[in-house]
Structure 1
Amino acid sequence: MKFISIKRYLIVVMSLTVFGCASKERVIELWPEGKIPNHIKTEEKEVHEQTNILRIKNVQTPTIEVFLPDESNATGKAMLIFPGGGYGLLAYDWEGTDIAKFLNNHGIAGIVVKYRLPSDKTQTKKHTVPLIDAQRAIRLVRSRAEDWNIDKNEIGIIGFSAGGHVASTLGTQYNKNVYEPIDKIDELSARPDFMALIYPVITMGEKTHKGSKKKLLGENPSEALVNAYSNHLHINKETPVTFLVHAIDDKAVPKENSEFFHGLMSTQGEGMSSLYLYKKGGHGFSLAKEKPHLKEWSKKLISWVNELESD
């Protein structure tokens, strides 16, 4: 009997070990060592601050963190997640890993992108850096789609606040040449198949979030640079179908950001966008778990994603 107990114990331990390995989140660097584009090596260190939210600053090594749903309910769809933080930090769990786990519950792979933030110390053309990392991230996911049980034609993106600006930049400028290819991964398409923009920064004009604009473009950017990163101006027939959410009382990022994008999707794009405006909600509400009237946005997102057809 004692032998049987020990044997059973070992089987349980081995099973738990295997399960742990299978379910463990994968963290993968975007770039091979020493080949990060537009990167100046300095003594600057990446900072992680954990209070009620995990805030990451001074990102030095951009990564993706991969959360895969259980195979039994996997839909084959995936979404890359771009947390916000005004281009000064990343609200990494609040608008990142929490979102990935939510998506997993609905059979969607959630991939959190820890992208570099604009920096005058570690970059030259700092305004190009978030897009550089975003393009690489979606190409990397597409290169691993088969390994992760993902349909390479059903890879979307979701971004919050300044992360929504990163996402909308990728969605409208996925084919912009912002770095030299370094390997076969860079031969793959960087076009998202669909995108969700949650209280996003879209324009760099009058209705922008001033903090994000300053961090990304500097103190006195030229009109050309402002237009280059006002993403509603870059919508065309190839812009992916888009889901937008904004609160009317958002004091940080005016609702007009989402309205500009939605409006031009109907004229310059294929008209394939859905905009949900909420009377109250403010800014930075993420999944809005404590706000019954507002948390419905996430249910609408899942329904919207599930209705999309693969190209």
Structure 2
Amino acid sequence: MDIKHYKITVTSEECGYRRSTEDAADLTAYLLSPMPQAPGRLRPAIVICPGGGYGFVSPREDQPVAMEFLAAGYQVFVLHYHVAPEIFPLALMELARSVALIKAHSREWCIDSSQIIVCGFSAGGHLAGCMGTMWNREFLYKPLGLTAEGIQPGGMILCYPVITSGEYGHQRSFSQLLGAGADQDPAMRRLVSLEHQAGPHVPRTFLWHTWTDQTVPVENSLLFASALRKAGVSLEMHIYPEGCHGLSLATEEVSDHTGDCLVPHCQGWINLAREWVAHGPNTGERTE
């Protein structure tokens, strides 16, 4: 296995506002070597966006999750995107440029380019959801010198995602994402409220949440599921009866001294997600 770091740069000119810093985002790649008995085998790729309310990038949803997907035989990438005081659409452009990089190297890295899946947690789930709903918008790909097809993800895994800026929204995430003033702009709030952006162009989606999440209410996932249903998008959704926000893997590895994030009943989501990936982009088609 190789571990590589790539600098993902988006300039002020490209993102449309004067950034507070021109520092690059970091994309960490965990790349498995080809197996001697199957040197031409193509692997799915998972691009992980940890959560943190657009105020930080959570380590609990970083390497522990990457190792689980790596163990399943996937090529795995973790994006440390920019957060506040940087604002929309910088992080989304960093994710778009990351997907484009992975597609450009798909042959070299033995990746099935139709199986590049964005995976996000909480606000990172919102970021991944933006990628899945906005990959075909000119404001996203054109300033980067890319094409819509060049940044199109093959699927989404959304874990207790921030979705709506409305009644059930996690308002701090949207304040951090949009910045002072813009967070009160109805047009901008609607743009980043993903239940309004769903359509038939959205890739197949795996979605999970807990019924008792008090930070990002389950209505976020229910609203998005309803929108995807109306758009005819393939969806697998799991709602667990108990569990706080930010469970990550729900294991002892990611839990602190309180034990709040140790919820054995929720630990199965990662296996369900891996089964969903293996099922392939088309109903009834299984990828090996």
Give the TM-score category using the shorter length.
0.7 to 0.9
Shift of the 63–294 alpha-carbon distance from structure 1 to 2, 3 Å rule, reads same
Give the alignment partner of residue 301 of structure 1, picking from 249, 273, 283.
273
**Deviation of the 1:281 alpha carbon:** 1.1
Counterpart of 1:30 in structure 2 is 8
Give the alignment partner of residue 79 of structure 2, picking from 99, 103, 113.
113
Counterpart of 1:84 in structure 2 is 51
Shift of the 261–112 alpha-carbon distance from structure 1 to 2, 3 Å rule, reads same
- SS of corresponding position for 1:116: coil
Counterpart of 1:225 in structure 2 is 188
Question: Contact (CA 8 Å) 1:75, 1:108: kept in 2 or not?
Answer: no
CA distance in 1, matches of 2:268, 2:226: 23
**Deviation of the 1:165 alpha carbon:** 0.4
Shift of the 168–286 alpha-carbon distance from structure 1 to 2, 3 Å rule, reads same
**Deviation of the 1:75 alpha carbon:** 5.3
Task: Give the unaligned 5+ runs of structure 1.
Answer: 1-22, 45-58
Shift of the 149–39 alpha-carbon distance from structure 1 to 2, 3 Å rule, reads farther
Q: TM-score, normalised by structure 1?
A: 0.78
**Deviation of the 1:115 alpha carbon:** 1.1
CA distance in 2, matches of 1:209, 1:32: 27
CA RMSD of aligned residues (A): 2.4
Give the alignment partner of residue 119 of structure 2, picking from 128, 147, 158.
158
| 1:209-247 deviation per Cα after TM superposition (whole angstroms, max 9, x unaligned) | 121011112355221111100111111111100001101
Shift of the 24–34 alpha-carbon distance from structure 1 to 2, 3 Å rule, reads farther
Question: Contact (CA 8 Å) 2:163, 2:195: kept in 1 or not?
Answer: yes
Question: Contact (CA 8 Å) 1:99, 1:110: kept in 2 or not?
Answer: no
CA distance in 2, matches of 1:213, 1:41: 18
Question: Contact (CA 8 Å) 1:155, 1:194: kept in 2 or not?
Answer: yes
Task: Give the unaligned 5+ runs of structure 2.
Answer: 253-262
CA distance in 2, matches of 1:109, 1:160: 19
**Equivalent residues, number:** 266
Q: Report the AA paired with residue 259 of structure 1.
A: L
Question: Contact (CA 8 Å) 2:10, 2:24: kept in 1 or not?
Answer: no
**Deviation of the 1:35 alpha carbon:** 8.0
Matches within 5 A, 1:157-176: 157-176=118-137
CA distance in 1, matches of 2:185, 2:279: 41
Question: Contact (CA 8 Å) 1:25, 1:67: kept in 2 or not?
Answer: yes
Matched, 1:246 2:209: yes
Question: Contact (CA 8 Å) 2:97, 2:144: kept in 1 or not?
Answer: no
The percentage of counterpart residues that share the same residue type is 28
Shift of the 263–37 alpha-carbon distance from structure 1 to 2, 3 Å rule, reads closer
Runs of 4+ more than 6 Å apart: 32-36
Counterpart of 1:189 in structure 2 is 150
**Deviation of the 1:135 alpha carbon:** 1.0
Counterpart of 2:243 in structure 1 is 281
- SS of corresponding position for 2:209: strand
Q: Report the AA paired with residue 171 of structure 2.
A: K
Shift of the 32–164 alpha-carbon distance from structure 1 to 2, 3 Å rule, reads closer
Give the alignment partner of residue 96 of structure 1, picking from 39, 45, 62.
62
- SS of corresponding position for 2:77: strand
Shift of the 161–187 alpha-carbon distance from structure 1 to 2, 3 Å rule, reads closer
Shift of the 306–296 alpha-carbon distance from structure 1 to 2, 3 Å rule, reads same
Q: Report the AA paired with residue 244 of structure 2.
A: G
Q: Report the AA paired with residue 274 of structure 2.
A: I
Q: Report the AA paired with residue 78 of structure 1.
A: A
**Deviation of the 1:100 alpha carbon:** 1.4
Counterpart of 2:88 in structure 1 is 127
**Deviation of the 1:70 alpha carbon:** 4.6
Q: Report the AA paired with residue 147 of structure 1.
A: E
**Deviation of the 1:187 alpha carbon:** 7.4
CA distance in 2, matches of 1:33, 1:117: 15
